Structure 1
């Protein structure tokens, strides 16, 4: 899954519970983190891992693939909620994706 696909899914009303079930993510996890395969690219593949597995690491290897932490799902869901408010709802999914990506690689 790409970041744009994730943004579209949640901006269109997708639920975290359904997403976790589809991605086989443990809903009882303290935090689910969103990672991207290296090298980082706006269209890079994402990975979703429970913090109990990653231990909050910036870099995480899974199946011989190196992932870089972008942000946790709490931050992402808050950003999606903000993207749907009166001020931001006119922004495209692409623009929201670009903003999130820039935040992750430059400010996080």
Structure 2
């Protein structure tokens, strides 16, 4: 799954619980982190890992694949909620993808 697909899923009303279930993510995890496969490109695949596995590390490797942390799901879901408010609802999924990607690689 890519960042645009993730944004589209949640902006269209996708459920966090269903997402976790379909991606075998422990819903009881303290924090689920969103990582991007290296090298970082806006079209790179994402990985979703519980903080209990990543131990909060910026870099993480799973099944021989190197990932870098973008942000956690709490931040992401807050951004989705804000993007659906009256002031931002006209923002396209593509534009939101660019904004979140830029934040993750430049400001985080």
Equivalents in 1 of 2:28, 2:82: separation in Å? Answer: 25
Matched with 1:6 is: 6
Partner of 1:7, secondary structure, is helix
Matched with 1:24 is: 24
Matched with 1:95 is: 95
> Between Structure 1 and Structure 2, how many residues are aligned?
108
Q: Gaps (5+ residues) in structure 2?
A: none
Stretches of 4+ moved more than 3 A in 1? none
TM-score (norm 1): 1.00
User: How far does residue 55 in structure 1 lie from its aligned partner after superposition?
Assistant: 0.2
User: How far does residue 56 in structure 1 lie from its aligned partner after superposition?
Assistant: 0.3
TM-score (norm 2): 1.00
Q: CA RMSD in A?
A: 0.2
User: How far does residue 104 in structure 1 lie from its aligned partner after superposition?
Assistant: 0.1
List per-residue Cα deviations over 1:54-75 (Å, max 9, x = no partner). 0000000000000000000000
List per-residue Cα deviations over 1:17-73 (Å, max 9, x = no partner). 000000000000000000000000000000000000000000000000000000000
Equivalents in 2 of 1:76, 1:29: separation in Å? Answer: 16
Matched with 2:81 is: 81
